[in-house]
Amino acid sequence: MAPKHIRTTDIARLLGVHVNTIRLYEAWGFLPPIPRGTNGYRLYTRMHVEQAKLTQLAARWPYIVADKKLLGDLVRSAANGDLGMAMELAYLYLAHVRVERTLAEAAVEFLERWAAGHLMDTARQKMHIRQAAAHLNVTVDMLRNWERNGLIDVPRDPANGYRLYGSAEFGRLRVIRTLVHAGYSMMAVLQMMRQFDAGKTDNLREALNVPLENSANEYIEVVADRWLTSLVALEERAQATIRQITYMIELTYTG
């Protein structure tokens, strides 16, 4: 029996996307070659449908930005019939997500230790900004940027007006740097620091997951504003990608 062919609109409706999205998948090489009927219409098969599902799982935003090429290679490998390579890349991406999640969790634990009052730095003498940047192995511009964005208020030397960094500032800066390096957005860190400065230290982990309110009382949110929550969702999607490739391999053998 000849395979039943499926229309572009059918796949788009199934995935909940616009038909142009399916055409973009084709243009990007994310779908296997699509035969055309005598009328010029695309003739999709069941495997095209499953490949489109894989594309939506693996390649749609959000994802870890550094793995954009890896995910593209994963989807193209499957489109070219190399499901073994697609599976290998899917597990590699899963490993990357888990590493990012571990970093995010560790950064929160570092934050909670600091919030509990533990000393976080051995510096005893106060330093000016260039000395402080060298001590923390960051740039002067980074320190100024964090201060300018409200993450820290640095006291000034009454004699000359220069910033003076002491153990309290270094502890706070180490927390800021750890969170930013772990992937949390500056907005998320600012929201958390505002809660800390207000004396609310019981649930700072959750504060990192609350989007910042703007002047119009609307919430501004990006992926990094809910980074740990986003990583949990990305790990679930990576697992779903592996399940989809498994199904496609089985489909190849069973028809």
| Same structural domain, 112 and 218 | yes
CATH number of the domain encompassing residue 149: 1.10.1660.10
In a domain, 46, yes or no: yes
Share of the chain above pLDDT 90, in %: 74
pLDDT at 209: 81
Helix or strand holding residue 220 (H, E): strand 219-220
Instruction: Say whether both 55 and 108 belong to one domain.
Output: no
Average pLDDT of span 72-98: 98
Is 65 within the bounds of a domain? no
Q: Which two tokens stand for residue 132?
A: 């402080």
- How many structural domains is the chain composed of? 2
Are 106 and 56 found together in one domain? no
Compute the distance between CA of residue 63 and CA of residue 47 in angstroms, rounded to an integer. Answer: 24
Residue 71 in domain = no
Per-residue pLDDT band for 38 (boundaries 50, 70, 90) equals confident
* Shared-domain flag, residues 1 and 105: no
- Mean pLDDT of the residues in the chain: 90
Residue 213 DSSP SS3:
strand
What is the reported pLDDT for 39?
Answer: 85
Contacts of 48 (CB under 8 A, 6+ apart): 6, 11, 31, 32, 34
What is the per-residue DSSP string for 107-152? HHHHHHHHHTT-------S-B-HHHHHHHHT--HHHHHHHHHTTS-
The pLDDT tens digits of the residues spanning 243-253 come to 999 999 999 98
User: Where does the pLDDT of residue 213 fall: very low under 50, low under 70, confident under 90, or very high at 90 and above?
Assistant: low
243 located within any domain: no
Instruction: Kindly write down the DSSP assignment for every residue of 36-67, as one continuous string.
Output: B-TTS-B-B-HHHHHHHHHHHHHHSSSS-GGG
Task: Give the pLDDT score at 220.
Answer: 42
- Cα(212)–Cα(189) distance, rounded to whole angstroms? 10
Residue 92 lies in a domain: no
Q: Locate 12 and state its tokens.
A: 């788009």
Task: Please tell me the predicted confidence (pLDDT) of residue 218.
Answer: 41
Q: What is the mean pLDDT of residues 86-101?
A: 97
Domain that holds residue 19: 1-60
Dump pLDDT digits (tens) for 111-143: 999 999 998 888 889 999 999 999 999 999 999
User: What is the predicted pLDDT for the residue at 31?
Assistant: 97
Mean local confidence (pLDDT), 180-199: 93
Residue 35 within a domain = yes
Average pLDDT of the residues in 87-105? 97
